[in-house]
Structure 1
Amino acid sequence: MSAAKGGYTGRMLRVDLDAATISVEETPDPTVWLGPRGWNALIGWNEVGPGVGPYDPENRIILSAGPLVGTCAPTSGRVVVSSLMPRGYPQPMWASATMGGYWGAELKYAGYDGVIVQGRASAPVYLLIEDDRVSLEDASDLWGKGLYATQRTLKERHGQQHQVVAIGPAGENRVRFATIAHRLKNAVGNGGFGGVFGAKNLKAIAVRGTGGVALADPAGFVSEVQRVWQIARGGIGGVGQIDVGFPMVACTHGCTVRCGARMEPLTDHYGVGTSYKMSLCVDSSWARGSHPEYRGRLQSGEELHIPRPSGLGPLGTNVGSLVEDLGMTTWVYDTWCRYFSALEELGIHEIEGEAFALDDPEWWRQWLTRVALREGLGDDYAEGLARFYEKHPVGPRYLADFIEDAGSRGHGWHRDGRAMEPHPSP
């Protein structure tokens, strides 16, 4: 294909951790493979043979960015990550997931459409990409650190404008629902891709680029972007930021709404004044209660009232941040809380002598840490519910099968424009 044309750089990095070598090769023809998801699958099909497991050196993990990434196109900040999925049951399978943020744009600015990683390093490393200067660096001082500390350390070491994807202790210990994460809230995690990084002794990829994205028709492109914005601003849906009294920072390159779009003004239950509620992106049918959890005041003086959401909301932001810092998908709480709650309804209040305390944040804090570090029974929990049940058949089998399946189907409704629906349907 022709390099640096029509949004593509025409180049991909290949990192062989076995040989500690880095090379540049042509991007597969996007007119044939329809962009990152397609060419990632092509590479996996050609290079990952039968019998290879997700944690084997022969497995590949590929991070790729499409032609709009790094441009001003709305919602264009996604990166496609593909590999054999550790969470796949009863056997691993090839899967892809996407992640927002700024990492993909920075990779394009450095001159690459993607990164292919193979092999296993003899000791912990991270990949440093600075335009044409690409190297493997010692990560022994980062191994064992959480996601927040890892990103902060690399930015302090190399520069605040470097964009970082990394794993936490859960990925290092090959937890089957470990994430690869970027910044605070951008991650690929439900498939367990963080464990693939961990198995390869790859702690992080830090990238800084000083180039740009070539456009075949810059003027026409900008005109089309403006047209899309006009469409988005009109009609029923409406795109824009609700004024909550303080600045909102976009969470991803090319974001159209910023997170303020998830906050809706409404009259409170007592009919006096105005509160704000958080409009969740995921069906909250599994929520354990609907009592208020967070209260405060905006800079404008208005009260902030966020009802208790599903997921980690009932436990507070500290436990939610711990899950992210350990490098696990927040669906781990949803999955296991559903299972434990169902067992309690059946009169079962413990597993292997360990009692549940599902409304106690400290109990969850200890449980999550044991899972990430694979300590004690946490080693079996780290395998995921389906595999855990094979060793510890507590409760009916159909319960474990259904809840594991529901948890592995996590879907962000904002991806297809239905975030503002009270209860998005499939």
Structure 2
Amino acid sequence: MHDLRLIRDNPEAFDRGLARRGVSPMAGEILELDTRRRAAQTTLQELQARRNEASKEIGKAKREGRDADALMAEVAGLKDRMQETEDEERAVGATLEGYLVSLPNLPADDVPDGPDETANVELRRVGEPPRIDKALEHFDLGEKLGMMDFTAGTKLSGARFTVLRGKLARLERALGQFMLDLHVNEHGFTEVMPPFLVRDEAAFGTGQLPKFSEDLFKTNTGHWLIPTAEVPLTNLVADRILDLEDLPLRMTALTPCFRSEAGAAGKDTRGMIRQHQFWKVEMVSVTGPDQSQAEHERMTECAETVLKRLGLPFRTIVLCTGDMGFSARKTYDIEVWLPGQNTYREISSVSNCGDFQARRMKARCRPRGEKNTQFVHTLNGSGVAVGRCLIAIMENFQQPDGSIIVPEALRPYMGGLDRISLDA
């Protein structure tokens, strides 16, 4: 959500930021609505003052035995005008609020400009992609092992669902536990087990509503299935005033995620790349305004560490203005190498949202003992997507006989198992 005062103070800068995201100038319309709303508020105050004054005059006239009919007629007229003005103020305010909550966050100054993913900028590569003759994709490997069943998933739930069995099911569970232990024990995050269903207010707070309702699943009770643990974790600070000295607040969670993939028709139709349900370890940080830039770099390093420990090749890119998510002001994507596809694919996205979400959630902070508050900054990132990490391990550590080597970091979570094969 945007700061109306900043738009008033520098409408040109606001429109420049929108233009970088491919959005037409909106400051003029917003300020016109703001002027109309404030004028209505001023008129309402004037009418209220006159009504109060006239009411006193009516009382005085009656006490003195004078005719108060004209004053009473005036008060009745004032009441009607006040109702009309209140209706106008409410309607204009709703339109203004609609603009402020539906426009995307403005990009940070150092975000590269560009219309789409072709303008993203690679920052670094870590690890060498393995040389594998005739590398198979994960779905071929999984089906040959008899541990990845797409037919059963479709029978149970429809397209974009998968059933994992045996050692692959355990490997996915091991990955989630490994990531949580790393982020909690070494990176200083607090593990949280949040609800997987949230109310409208929570989905609004992080920017999923109202703009992206088609991307979510909704229950008949009115709850939304979480598309990521970012939603419940970030909303834990909604409507709160935090002590600045207690920040940054770092949280992590392993949860299922549910996405309708409304705009993904025809994309990644085979395999587990794009599912309606998947597991992900999420990292969320809540910081003071001056801490978020450094925290963004730190969180990205935390996500990269997961892939380094697993021995997976990856690259880190900064997204351009046209490829960032709605709530982000700057985003790093980490893409893991998939030999079966002979390309890098996203496995983590780490975003600094500034105070954009905090304004929607009314989440503030202040130095202990002081009265003045300011909005916190919120950050979120995958640490990392468990299903895609499973895919990456399968493809990068596949062997000529169809077996899969288990990375050393995961073996304690696999009961010491070092290879997944038909006979193991």
Fold conserved (TM > 0.5)? no
Higher normalized contact order (CA 8 Å, seq sep 6+, divided by chain length): 2
TM bucket, shorter chain: under 0.3
Bigger CA radius of gyration:
2
